[in-house]
């Protein structure tokens, strides 16, 4: 799972039949775990009703289909949660191994 921010929405009339009725959100990842294909955005199916500007937890791969309750959807990204707050220790937040993208920080980050 990764943290991301919803920055927009995608409309598509012609789509795989198993995608019908699904809301598609444009998400900017706040941090990556060195994936095979790093992009600066994701399109994720949204079963939880997230809104533009909110930070969300995005499930990738098979868990993305679990989060939709049907593993036959041909998708690999879905929204699992809307983030209220992110809490990290001050030490971890300053560690170079804990890096949010340049200028991209959870809007409700709390250092303890």
* Smaller CB separation from another protein, 6 or 80: 6
For 76, the token pair is: 């690999």
| Site membership for another protein, residue 44 (CB under 8 A) | yes
Q: How far apart are CA 31 and CA 47, in angstroms?
A: 22
| Site membership for another protein, residue 95 (CB under 8 A) | no
Given a contact cutoff of 8 angstroms between Cβ atoms, the answer to whether 36 and 92 are in contact is no
* Smaller CB separation from another protein, 13 or 96: 13
Please give the C-alpha separations between residue 92 and each of 71, 95, 97, 110, in angstroms, as whole numbers: 35, 5, 8, 12
Contact residues for another protein (CB under 8 A)? Answer: 5-16, 18-19, 24, 26, 28, 36-37, 39-44, 52-53, 61-62, 72-77, 84-85, 101-111
């Amino acid at each position: 799972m990764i943290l991301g921010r919803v920055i927009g929405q995608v409309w598509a009339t012609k789509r795989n039949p198993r995608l019908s009725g699904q809301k598609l959100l444009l998400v900017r990842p706040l941090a990556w775990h060195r994936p095979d294909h790093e992009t600066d955005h994701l399109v994720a199916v949204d079963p939880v009703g997230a809104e533009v500007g909110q930070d969300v937890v995005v499930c990738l791969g098979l868990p993305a289909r679990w989060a939709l309750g049907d593993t036959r959807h041909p998708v690999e990204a879905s929204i699992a949660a809307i983030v209220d707050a992110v809490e990290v220790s001050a030490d971890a937040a300053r560690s170079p191994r804990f890096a949010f993208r340049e200028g991209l920080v959870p809007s409700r980050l709390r250092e303890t």
